[in-house]
Amino acid sequence: MSIAKHGASIWRSEIVLALLATLVASAVNAWAGFPQLTNAHGDNDNLLRLVEVRDFLAGQGWFDLHQYRMGLEGGFVMHWSRLVDAPIAAIILAATALTGSMALAENVAQVLWPALLFCLAVFFITRAARNFAGEA
């Protein structure tokens, strides 16, 4: 087997492993009834991130990080970046186009975004482990 084919097969096996781990974790979470969604959408950070994404989708500017509904009169400026808001907003827009419901689209994003991050994390951890430990 050539080096290129061997490298490609390793990448494929790591991608398959990451997808299977994500599928299992998502299935366990679904079997448990998605407790993070049913328990008031998780913690305060999750709720505030969703508020920021909603404001962004409603037309608030990319560089306008004010939360006008919180704090004293005039709100306050959040320290979070919009870079995390963009993919969540994209998932919500795509799911809204498919389902026709913004509320359902937000739930889809709350399931899909962590699953995507988990899949990427498993993939890169297995890549790093293989690079550090070598072939078995």
Q: CB within 8 A of 19, min separation 6: which ones?
A: 119
In single-letter form, the type of residue at position 94 comes to A
CB 84 within 8 A of CB 116: no
Q: In whole angstroms, give the CA distance from residue 133 to residue 127.
A: 10
Would you state the torsion angle of the CA atoms of residues 68, 84, 24, 7, taken in this order, to the nearest 10 degrees? 180
Determine the pLDDT at residue 42: 65
Q: What is the pLDDT of residue 136?
A: 61
CA 91, distance to chain mean position in Å, is 9
Nearest one of 52, 124, 41, 121 to 84, comparing CA atoms: 52
Do 14 and 123 form a contact (C-beta atoms < 8 A)? yes
Domain ranges of the chain: 17-133
pTM of the model: 0.80
Distance CA 38, CA 5 (A): 46
pLDDT in tens, the chain (136 residues): 555 555 667 778 889 989 999 999 999 988 988 777 666 656 788 888 999 999 999 999 999 888 888 877 888 888 889 999 999 999 999 999 999 999 999 999 999 999 999 999 999 999 999 888 876 6
